[in-house]
């Protein structure tokens, strides 16, 4: 590509590091190495080279990096998403503990790939179940399996997410809740 600027390796590592932490932060160095394939040494060099573009904070004894000047956002309650397989929200981090709740058991058997990397139901930023798209006579059927009972507001948020998905794919979606033992 004629208009693509060239970078030496150090510049490329610095740019990749800056872009990752600005778009995924707060994140840890192991998250970045998992996502990028770089070594821990390269990741540390990238953070050093990114300099003032990144900020650092220690939370519960773990080091987190994020874009400089980005304000901490609180979670928005009452929002759900139906994420596809290998969505960046689940793939972009090695440590997925922030997207699960410690007091709720993870039931990997309900996920098509037996993994949180499968199509996930996210409620208020937390993985609460799995979903899959099934062809139906009239439109498309969305089957939802949750790991535990959802509150009425959470159910409404998942229903709203299915309507957004329907508008996105321009299909009529029939949301079906599958009971799981």
HEC-encoded secondary structure of 58-101: EECCEEEEEECCCCCCCCCCCCEEEECCCCHHHHCCCCCHHHCC
Buried b (16+ CB within 10 A) or exposed e, 139-178: ebbbebbbbeebeeebbebbbebbeebbeeeebebbbeee
CA distance 116 to 130: 8
Contact present, 35 and 91 (Cβ < 8 Å): yes
Instruction: Give bridge partners of residue 121 from the DSSP assignment.
Output: 82, 129
What is the length of the chain? 181
Of 97, 127, 124, which Cα lies nearest the Cα of 111? 127
What pLDDT does residue 117 have? 86
Under DSSP, the state recorded for 27 is B
Per-residue confidence of the chain (181 residues) as pLDDT tens digits? 567 778 899 999 999 999 999 999 899 999 999 999 999 999 999 999 999 999 999 998 999 999 998 766 666 678 999 999 998 888 888 888 888 888 888 888 888 888 888 999 999 989 999 999 888 777 778 899 998 889 999 999 999 999 888 887 776 677 788 876 5
What is the reported pTM? Answer: 0.74
pLDDT attached to residue 135: 80
Q: Helices 9-24 and 40-50 meet at what angle, rounded to 10?
A: 80
pLDDT of residue 95: 82
* 74-92 core/surface letters (b: 16 or more CB in 10 A; e: else): eeeeeebbbbeeebebbeb
Domains observed in the chain: 9-67 (1.10.10), 80-178 (no CATH)
pLDDT at 6: 87
What pLDDT does 151 receive?
92
């Amino acid at each position: 590509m004629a208009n693509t600027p060239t970078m030496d390796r150090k510049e490329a590592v610095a740019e990749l590091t800056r872009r990752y932490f600005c778009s995924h932060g707060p994140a840890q160095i192991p998250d970045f190495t998992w996502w990028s394939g770089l070594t821990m040494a390269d990741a540390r060099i990238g953070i050093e080279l990114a300099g003032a573009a990144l900020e650092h904070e220690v939370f519960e004894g773990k080091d987190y990096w994020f874009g400089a000047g980005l304000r901490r956002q609180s979670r928005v309650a009452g929002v759900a998403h139906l994420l596809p397989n290998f969505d960046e929200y689940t793939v972009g981090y090695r440590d997925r503990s922030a997207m699960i709740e410690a007091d709720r058991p993870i039931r990997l058997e309900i996920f098509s790939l037996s993994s949180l990397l499968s199509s996930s139901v996210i409620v208020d930023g937390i993985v609460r179940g799995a979903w899959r798209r099934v062809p139906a006579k009239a439109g498309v059927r969305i089957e939802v399996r949750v790991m535990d009972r959802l509150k009425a507001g959470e159910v409404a948020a998942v229903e709203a997410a299915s309507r957004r998905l329907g508008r996105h794919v321009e299909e009529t979606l029939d949301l079906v809740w599958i009971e799981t033992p």
